Amino acid sequence: MCGIIGYVGNEECAPILLDGLRRLEYRGYDSAGVAVHDGQELRVLRAAGKLTALGDALGRNPVHGATGIGHTRWATHGKPSEHNAHPHVSGNVAVVHNGIIENHVELKTELKASGRVFKSDTDTEIVAHLIDLALGRGLELFEAVRETLKVLRGAYAIAVLSKDDPSRIILAKNASPLVLGVGDGVMLAASDVPALLSHTRDVIFLEDGDLAEIRREGAKIVRVDGGPVERPVTRITWSLMQAERGGFKHFMLKEIHEQPRAIEDTLRGRVNLDEGGLEAGEMGLDAETAKKIRRVVFLACGTSYHAALHGRYLLESLARVEAVAELASEFRYRDPVVGEGDLVVAVSQSGETADTLAAAKEARERGARVLAVVNVQGSAIARAAHGTLYTHAGPEIGVASTKCFTAQQAALTMLAIHVGRSRGALSVEKGRALLQELVEVPAKMRETLAGARHVEGIARSIVHARDALFLGRGLSAAVALEGALKLKEISYIHAEGYAGGEMKHGPLALVDRDMPVVCLLPSDSTLEKMLSNVQEVRARDGVVIAVLDEPSVARDIAAHTIVVPRAAEAVSPLVTSVPLQLLSYYVADHRGTDVDQPRNLAKTVTVE
Interface residue list for ligand AGP (CB under 6 A): 301-304, 348-350, 353, 356, 399-401, 489, 601, 604-605
C-beta of 589: minimal distance to ligand AGP in Å? 16
What is the C-alpha separation between 148 and 330, in angstroms, rounded? Answer: 51
Output 83 or 364, the one with its CB closest to ligand AGP: 364
Q: Which of 64, 70, 92, 88 is nearest to 164 (CA)?
A: 92
Q: Rounded to the nearest 10 degrees, what angle do helices 403-422 and 428-449 cross at?
A: 170
Q: From the candidates 79, 220, 430, 603, give the one annotated as an active-site residue.
A: 603
C-beta of 74: minimal distance to ligand AGP in Å? 16
Output 382 or 534, the one with its CB closest to ligand AGP: 382
C-beta of 454: minimal distance to ligand AGP in Å? 24
- Contact between 587 and 462 (Cβ < 8 Å): yes
C-beta of 378: minimal distance to ligand AGP in Å? 15
Output 262 or 546, the one with its CB closest to ligand AGP: 262
- Contact between 295 and 326 (Cβ < 8 Å): no
Name the DSSP letter for residue 270: T
C-beta of 468: minimal distance to ligand AGP in Å? 16
What is the C-alpha separation between 85 and 46, in angstroms, rounded? Answer: 6
C-beta of 577: minimal distance to ligand AGP in Å? 12
Output 243 or 360, the one with its CB closest to ligand AGP: 360
- Contact between 554 and 538 (Cβ < 8 Å): no
Q: How many CB atoms lie within 10 A of CB 324?
A: 17
Output 199 or 254, the one with its CB closest to ligand AGP: 254
Q: How many CB atoms lie within 10 A of CB 246?
A: 17
C-beta of 350: minimal distance to ligand AGP in Å? 3
C-beta of 412: minimal distance to ligand AGP in Å? 13
C-beta of 63: minimal distance to ligand AGP in Å? 38
What is the C-alpha separation between 72 and 52, in angstroms, rounded? Answer: 12
Name the DSSP letter for residue 28: -
Output 20 or 302, the one with its CB closest to ligand AGP: 302
Output 428 or 601, the one with its CB closest to ligand AGP: 601
- Contact between 312 and 409 (Cβ < 8 Å): no
603 as an active site residue: the answer is yes
For ligand AGP, the nearest residue by Cβ is: 302
2 as an active site residue: the answer is yes
Q: From the candidates 2, 13, 301, 519, give the one annotated as an active-site residue.
A: 2
- Contact between 157 and 170 (Cβ < 8 Å): no
- Contact between 563 and 549 (Cβ < 8 Å): yes
**H or E element at residue 447:** helix 428-449
Relative to beta strand 467-472, strand 387-388 is unpaired
What is the C-alpha separation between 258 and 300, in angstroms, rounded? Answer: 23
C-beta of 308: minimal distance to ligand AGP in Å? 10
What is the C-alpha separation between 158 and 176, in angstroms, rounded? Answer: 9
Output 145 or 404, the one with its CB closest to ligand AGP: 404
Handedness of CA 13, 16, 22, 23 (dihedral sign): negative
Q: Which of 401, 409, 397, 399 is nearest to 29 (CA)?
A: 397
Output 94 or 404, the one with its CB closest to ligand AGP: 404
Provide CB contacts within 8 A for 9, sequence distance 6+: 16, 66, 67, 183, 185, 186, 187, 188, 216
- Contact between 170 and 178 (Cβ < 8 Å): no
Provide CB contacts within 8 A for 476, sequence distance 6+: 520, 522, 524, 526, 530, 572, 573, 576
Output the CA angle 605-606-608, nearest 5 degrees: 90
Q: What are phi and psi of 215, to 5 degrees?
A: -125, 170
Output 531 or 605, the one with its CB closest to ligand AGP: 605
Residues annotated catalytic, as ranges: 2, 603
